[in-house]
């Protein structure tokens, strides 16, 4: 499997429309996930969980969460982060989930995002993450 760094280099060297079409048509280059829900439900940690556990651990209303998981609702950034924390995803998986959800990436210069990144690394629960955010004087995950 080609690394993202390698693909970024290849993409930076594309000079013609034909090369671009060849690049995006290659299944090796472009991820096949068309939605956050599709990506999220493909992750082994998530596959091992019951939906009821995801609802409970993410602390997202079960009806709304089921809409996110079915793909009928597009989650906001905080909801993506809540779901990632619930499944104890690693930093790389969270970064990818945010990309696929078309949400802003975690920014290391942001105090709030630094706390969230720490919580992801330490596999903190949503509740513990919100406590840590509150103790830091920052807005909890909505």
Mean predicted confidence (pLDDT) in 103-111: 96
Which pairs with CB-CB distance under 8 Å and at least 24 residues apart come from 89-97? 89/43, 89/45, 89/120, 90/120, 91/117, 91/120, 91/121, 93/43, 94/120, 96/39, 97/36, 97/39, 97/40
Confidence of residue 1 (pLDDT cuts 50, 70, 90): low
Is the pLDDT score of 9 beyond 90?
A: no
Quick one: tokens of 131? Answer: 């406590």
pTM here is 0.80
What's the pLDDT at 5?
Answer: 80
Residue 117, classed as helix, strand or coil, is helix
CB 68 within 8 A of CB 103: no
The band of 122, judged by pLDDT with boundaries at 50, 70 and 90, is: very high
């Amino acid at each position: 499997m080609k690394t993202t760094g390698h693909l970024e280099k290849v993409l930076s060297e594309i000079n013609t429309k034909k090369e671009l079409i060849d690049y995006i048509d290659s299944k090796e280059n472009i991820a096949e996930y068309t939605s956050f829900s599709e990506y999220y439900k493909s992750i082994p940690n998530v596959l091992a969980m019951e939906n009821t556990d995801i609802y409970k651990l993410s602390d997202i209303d079960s009806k709304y969460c089921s809409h996110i998981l079915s793909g009928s609702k597009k989650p906001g950034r905080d909801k993506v982060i809540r779901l990632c924390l619930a499944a104890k995803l690693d930093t790389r998986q969270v970064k990818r989930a945010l990309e696929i959800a078309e949400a802003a990436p975690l920014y290391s210069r942001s105090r709030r995002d630094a706390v969230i990144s720490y919580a992801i690394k330490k596999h903190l629960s949503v509740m513990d993450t919100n406590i840590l955010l509150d103790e830091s004087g920052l807005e909890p995950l909505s």
